[in-house]
Amino acid sequence: MKGMITKRLIFGLVVLSLLVAPVAMACAQPAPAPAPAPAPAPPPKPALPEKLHWDISVWGGPRVLTFPFADFAQDMAELTDGRWEIEVHYGGVLVPAKEGIDGLKAGVCEMVLYTSMYGPGKLPLSTVCQLPFFGCPTVKMNGEWYMAVQEHPALKKEVAQWNAQILFPTPLPQYNYMGKVPFKTVDDLDGLRVRIDPVSGKALEDFGAVITTLPGPEIYTALERGMLDGVIWIWTYTFGSYKLHELSQYATLGLDLKVTDMFGFVNKDAWAALPDEWKKLANFSAAKATGRYASYLNEADVKWLPIFSKAGIEVTQLAPEERAKLIGKAEAAYEAWIKDKEDKGLPGKEVFEFAKAKREEIIAKYEKK
């Protein structure tokens, strides 16, 4: 009896050990690693618009200055398979020339051709590029100079307050003279009623010139009615495009008074709303537009020089000593510009020195090439 109980006890212990062993072994082993979490799905790619329409406002008719805008519109249509439709409105029908940046801020258009010359109170520091005898020698250099100067924080701020940003510059050649009255020496400036902006015109006023600032579309009528004796503007295409050679008898080259900061401004909200792909395409096209600009100017000279000759325009080359007399007045114009801005609480001297340094850097860079 006692032996049977012992056998049963041993049998029970064996069974119990067989049951407990797997549990013990399981507890002794490390827990399996959790399954990796699924990778987060990439954000959905923004859908490109089925159709987007932009309006660009420029003044005057199609000409060299407006060609980059027409090129840009055509490029965007082609690069987006017609989905981005950009319409260039000529003649200031959307926004008058002097109010271009106002119209941009108000949302009348998404892009505009504009210059600080037409709104010196709106972009006061940007007028630094219009100081007499201050620009770079070539169109390409000036395009780089405009953009470099606009990198100054104070200039960025004054552009941004119009809810604007710059897409590309439209650099211009130096300004020369055409009119009804000859301008061959500085003595001829005494009493001469000439169209030029007051910033660069300061150097001429010291010799008795009477300065008037008018937007391009108003110049022909002013010259026709005798309100002006002559115009200082871009040689050759502006005189030809606005038919000023029809009213003039004289032209003077070698003055090279100034350059003008011209830009294609875009509305910041309209730009921000663009798909990133289209922003890249727009920047690509903007670079192309700037690159083609010099060739357009050369083509304009080929077109207009024979027309001016046929019209009987008497062309004079300003003597270096006469130009030197004008350049001698430039320093006073610089100081007057700086004082005017400083009196208004703006960093005039800082911006002037910044623009001067950038100009010297760019000229030195090209001289090394």
**By mean pLDDT, which of 1-5, 269-273, 312-316 is the weakest?**
1-5
SS3 95: coil
Residue 169's alpha-carbon distances to 64, 128, 139, 311, in angstroms, are 13, 15, 11, 33
pLDDT at residue 9, rounded to an integer: 38
Average pLDDT on 206-211 reads 96
**Residue 310 pLDDT > 60:** yes
Domain boundaries, the chain: 52-171+260-297, 175-259+302-368
Whether 334 shows a pLDDT value over 70: the answer reads yes
**Strand pairing of 193-195 and 210-212?**
parallel
Supply the pLDDT for residue 38: 54
Q: Which amino acid is at 21?
A: A
DSSP string computed for 15-47: HHHHHHHHHHHHHHSPPPPPPPPPPPPPPPPPP
Helix (H, G, I), strand (E, B) or coil at 3: helix
**In sequence order, which residues have a C-beta less than 8 Å from that of residue 217 and are 6 or more positions away?**
59, 60, 91, 92, 97, 242
Please compute the mean of the pLDDT values over residues 316-341 and round it to a whole number.
96
So what's the pLDDT on residue 105? Answer: 97
Is-contact 204 325, C-beta < 8 A? no
Asked if the model's pLDDT at residue 228 lies above 90, the reply is yes
The enclosing H or E element of 252 equals: strand 250-253
C-alpha torsion 238→243→244→247, nearest 10: 170
CATH of domain 175-259+302-368: 3.40.190.170
**pLDDT above 80 (res 98):** yes
Residue 216: in which H helix or E strand, if any? helix 216-224
Cα–Cα distance between 343 and 2 in angstroms, integer? Answer: 121
CA distances from 79 to 105, 249, 282 (A): 27, 46, 9
* Angle at CA of residue 181, ends 176 and 182, nearest 5°: 60
Of all residues in the chain, the percent with pLDDT exceeding 70 is 87
> Could you check whether 52-171+260-297 and 175-259+302-368 share the same CATH topology?
yes
- Greatest pairwise CA separation for the chain in angstroms: 147
Q: How far apart are CA 290 and CA 228, in angstroms?
A: 33
User: In the predicted model, what is the mean pLDDT of residues 178-193?
Assistant: 98
Structure tokens at 304: 């207009």
In 3-state terms, what secondary structure has residue 281?
helix
CATH class (in words) of the domain with range 52-171+260-297: alpha beta
pLDDT of residue 41: 53
pLDDT, one tens digit per residue, over 52-79 is 999 999 999 999 999 999 999 999 999 9
